[in-house]
Structure 1
Amino acid sequence: MEWTLEVVAVPVTDVDRAKAFYMDRCGFRAEIDASFFEGVGRFVQLTAPGSRCSIVLESGMPDPPGQPRMAPGSLRGLQLCVTDIEKARAELVGRGVEISPVLHVSASGWAEGRGEESWNSFLFFQDPDGNGWAVQEAPAPLAQR
């Protein structure tokens, strides 16, 4: 049996503001914007260009059994991968995203500039609620080289 990660919930305070940020600033496309019942619960599903995994923004939904919701702005560690970190940074800056310079992991922590290894170049930004994102340069899959 295959297990695929398809959707990640991102906790936000204002679904419309977050939807605009992810679409206008990050280039995500809206897949779904729906209410479950009139006046009760809304969810917006958005997908980054080229990704199969989406994010979902929701409001007014009850907590799943035994799983209290995260506070808006508390999500960390979401990571997008690109094959050209400088191009990705230029695109996000051009769309108005406040983003870090290109950074890499060094023996003394984070350092500015590209890393020597093909996986060691990153960018960091936050959505309007403070949810933290990383962008990593990752080599193209073997089938695309």
Structure 2
Amino acid sequence: MNWTIEVVSVPVSDVDRAKTFYADQLGFAVDHDTSVSDDVRFVQLTPRGSGCSVVLSNSHEGMSPGSLRGVQLVVNDIKAARAELVERGVDVSEIIVYAEEGQRPARDGDDLNNVGFCRFSDPDGNSWAIQQITARD
């Protein structure tokens, strides 16, 4: 039996602002935008190539806007991914690596596979990491 993660809930304060960020700046595809009531709305978006979507809502029970931490997007070229986000106006960190000496800025010649990361936050402060994985065992 497969156990798959299909949706990550992202609590936001302003659904329109978040939808614009995730669709226009990150390039996620909008799957649906559903209003349940005047006070509750869900927008589902999916990153290119992903089997997992995000759902933005102003009504996530027990989660306050900006409280999401630890979700990682995986790419096969972190330099290109970071450059795309910068071009789209996203405030994204420099690329860092986790090496024997600890966390440090990436250097020319570093093998970034599995250890290369950069980070960004959405307008509410939900934080994301991008990790480079070019091959899996």
User: Do they superpose with TM above 0.5?
Assistant: yes
Aligned partner letter, 2:73: L
Aligned partner letter, 1:23: A
Moved segments of 4+, more than 4 Å? none
The 1-side partners of 2:114 and 2:59 are apart by 39
Aligned partner letter, 2:83: A
Query: 1:117 Cα deviation (Å)?
Result: 5.9
Q: How many residues align?
A: 135
* 1:129-140 paired onto structure 2 within 5 Å: 129-140=124-135
* Contact 2:99–2:115 (CA under 8 A) maintained in structure 1: no
* Secondary structure of 2:65's aligned partner: coil
Unpaired runs of 5+ residues, structure 1, are: 64-68
1:45-90 per-position Cα deviation (integer Å, ceiling 9, x unaligned): 01001101000011246x3xxxxx2111111111000001110011
**Are residues 31 and 106 of structure 1, via their aligned partners in 2, closer, same or farther at CA, if it must alter by over 3 Å?**
same
Aligned partner letter, 1:82: V
* Secondary structure of 2:40's aligned partner: strand
* 1:82-101 paired onto structure 2 within 5 Å: 82-101=75-94
Computed over aligned residues only, the root mean square deviation of the Cα atoms, in angstroms, reads: 1.8
1:20-49 per-position Cα deviation (integer Å, ceiling 9, x unaligned): 00011100010010122x425210001001
Unpaired runs of 5+ residues, structure 2, are: none
Larger Rg, first or second structure (1 or 2): 1
Indicate the residue corresponding to 1:58 in structure 2.
57
The 2-side partners of 1:17 and 1:126 are apart by 13
* 1:1-145 paired onto structure 2 within 5 Å: 1-36=1-36, 38-60=37-59, 63=61, 69-113=62-106, 115-116=110-111, 118-140=113-135
* Contact 2:11–2:59 (CA under 8 A) maintained in structure 1: no
Over the matched positions of the two proteins, sequence identity in percent amounts to 51
Aligned partner letter, 1:74: S
